[in-house]
Structure 1
Amino acid sequence: MSTNTNSEVKIGQGDAQVTFSNTGRLSLIAGPCQMESRDHAFMVAGTLKELCGKLGIGLVYKSSFDKANRTSLSAERGIGLEKGMEIFADLKKEFGFPVLTDVHTAEQCAEVAKTVDVLQIPAFLCRQTDLLIAAAKTGRVVNVKKGQFLAPWDMKNVLKKLNASGNPNVLLCERGASFGYNTLVSDMRSLPIMAAMGAPVVFDATHSVAQPGGQGDSSGGQREFVETLARAAVAAGIAGVFLETHQDPDNAPSDGPNMVYLKDMPRLLEKLLAFDAVAKS
């Protein structure tokens, strides 16, 4: 079995193929936190597709069909696997871009991989060996989020599990570290530390400003710091940035306090591309 990881990961097909490389042009993973409906998915996807085409930035569209780790039992979890896969298939047919979603159990991986291009391992589950192996064995790209409880150098063991299961196409994603109660901090040293492992590194700028459980029965967030952290991460030289976005985040069913307004995405991405160009000049 392979124990090597690819430093350049290609996702998707044809003109919509997206390349993630720590030394190449910045790429984007973006979309709403939760898949709310077909109409909503198509609205956000169409806006992002047009924007990324104008800016010349590769897009992987993301959304979650099931938010399995909500703070409250009564919180909305999403549209479900079967309907979610139908919508992802329709999005790919309409827009051509690759898509990403979370998997929470080993049993979900093969079914989700029939439609989705990137399987994402949630931060809370990044050490679950059976889940990592199942995701890796689908042959799809795996985006694994560094647990809030892990040191960046400990991600080498996560990467080894995926590579040893026969999958060299792995993205490592930084999304903050627990700092006391209900808050996270982003240690930018983690980006070059993980990049030294050989895999492309992605920075999740929206979950990095989350305040887990900060509103009692839901998570809070500090949207005003997304740009600051994203600029710092991109300036360090990374493969991609992960941004959750919504036209009305304050009324979104999940992670609203840390999602970027869809109308603010053009200005933010223009700034990030400028930082990326300097970092890689």
Structure 2
Amino acid sequence: MKELYAKLRTEPFIITGPCVIESREMIMKLCEKLKEITERQGYTFIFKASFDKANRTSITSFRGPGLEEGLAILAEAKARFNVPVTTDIHEASQAEAVGKVVDIVQIPAFLCRQTDLLTAAAKTGKIVNIKKAQFLSGYDMEHPVQKVEESGNNKIMLTERGSMFGYNNLVVDYRNLIDMSTFGYPVIMDATHSVQRPGGLAGKSGGDGRLAPSMAYAAAAVGVKGFFFEVHENPAEAKSDGPNMIPLNEFENVLKKLKRVMEAVKG
């Protein structure tokens, strides 16, 4: 795990997967394909899927298989394909069990100020990826960072996923990426959640997935080397976040172009 974090501090990496675990079969198939694509394009690959989407707009929305079954599926994917995995926690009580399986514990944006959640994640000893709340600036992330640091964990990453702008819309201020980089930790651009339209489809979130690649390219232009994408074989049939996802058959071309942007900035 120390080796993984050292790599994430210096090399381009991709966190990707579906929004939620829809089935074991879907996860195994998608993890295998995403590993092939990302590694072929020269990125470190981390597989992500949620065992429970506790923050869905509607009480009737699909949430996932739950903690026990979801972690078993993630553990199988990790072992079968020899890849690091990550998932999000919504309650401090979930941290210990999740920390036994994943390499990175993800803190949802809505919950990034929750002290108990941050300290519980920190105490797992795993990398903690804190997603910036839609209502915070990049500099405001100083305080979530301090909570993890003061809980004894300095393996931290910070993720930009847009700021609330008016109703059912987000905007990305790329100054936030630059500001968060001053804390000395890896910064990630969440390209697909940044084009989400929260609650914008009458009881569920909408989005504009066609814009997601551009979010990543612009982040690469300001020096970001970590990227988060939700990808699905058929976004129209995804059980969560379909409108802002990237179709699997388009993903490799996105990564190719992203690599060219990073090379241009570096050169």
Q: Does 1:50 align with 2:36?
A: yes
Of 120, 125, 132, the match for 2:111? 125
Gaps of 5+ in 2: none
Of 7, 13, 19, the match for 1:19? 7
Structure-2 separation of matches of 1:72 and 1:247: 24
Q: Secondary structure at the match of 1:172?
A: strand
TM-score scaled to structure 2, two decimals?
A: 0.97
Gaps of 5+ in 1: 1-8, 13-17
Q: Secondary structure at the match of 1:218?
A: coil
Amino acid across the alignment from 1:79: P
Structure-1 separation of matches of 2:23 and 2:135: 33
Of 213, 233, 251, the match for 2:237? 251
Q: Does 1:156 align with 2:142?
A: yes
**Once the 2 structures are TM-superposed, how far is the Cα of residue 276 of structure 1 from its aligned partner?**
1.3
Deviations along 1:108-136, one digit per CA (max 9) or x if unpaired, are 00011111111000000000000000000
**Once the 2 structures are TM-superposed, how far is the Cα of residue 10 of structure 1 from its aligned partner?**
4.4
Q: Do 1:25 and 1:276's aligned partners in 2 also have CA atoms closer than 8 Å?
A: no
Structure-2 separation of matches of 1:174 and 1:52: 21
Q: Which residue of the partner structure matches residue 220 of structure 2?
A: 234
TM-score scaled to structure 1, two decimals?
A: 0.92
Deviations along 1:225-264, one digit per CA (max 9) or x if unpaired, are 1111110001111130000000011111000000100000
**Once the 2 structures are TM-superposed, how far is the Cα of residue 11 of structure 1 from its aligned partner?**
2.7
**Once the 2 structures are TM-superposed, how far is the Cα of residue 54 of structure 1 from its aligned partner?**
1.4
Amino acid across the alignment from 2:120: A
Q: Does 1:105 align with 2:98?
A: no
Q: Secondary structure at the match of 2:40?
A: helix
Equivalent positions of 1:69-84 (< 5 A) are 69-84=55-70
Q: Secondary structure at the match of 1:20?
A: helix
**Once the 2 structures are TM-superposed, how far is the Cα of residue 107 of structure 1 from its aligned partner?**
0.3
Q: Give aligned pairs, total.
A: 266
Structure-1 separation of matches of 2:150 and 2:225: 23
Amino acid across the alignment from 2:116: D
Change (3 A) 1:10 1:185: farther
Structure-2 separation of matches of 1:213 and 1:123: 15
Q: Does 1:178 align with 2:178?
A: no
Amino acid across the alignment from 1:108: Q
Of 118, 127, 130, the match for 1:144? 130
Structure-2 separation of matches of 1:238 and 1:223: 20
Q: Does 1:210 align with 2:196?
A: yes
Structure-2 separation of matches of 1:10 and 1:171: 15
Structure-2 separation of matches of 1:29 and 1:170: 15
Deviations along 1:133-172, one digit per CA (max 9) or x if unpaired, are 0000110001110000001110011101111111000000
Q: Which residue of the partner structure matches residue 194 of structure 1?
A: 180
What percent identity do the matched residue pairs reach?
Answer: 47
Of 93, 96, 102, the match for 1:116? 102
Q: Which residue of the partner structure matches residue 65 of structure 1?
A: 51
Structure-1 separation of matches of 2:11 and 2:89: 28
Structure-2 separation of matches of 1:63 and 1:19: 21
Q: Do 1:11 and 1:141's aligned partners in 2 also have CA atoms closer than 8 Å?
A: no
Using CA pairs under 8 Å that are at least 6 residues apart, name the structure with larger relative contact order, 1 or 2: 1
Structure-2 separation of matches of 1:235 and 1:26: 13
Of 235, 248, 253, the match for 1:267? 253
Q: Secondary structure at the match of 1:74?
A: coil
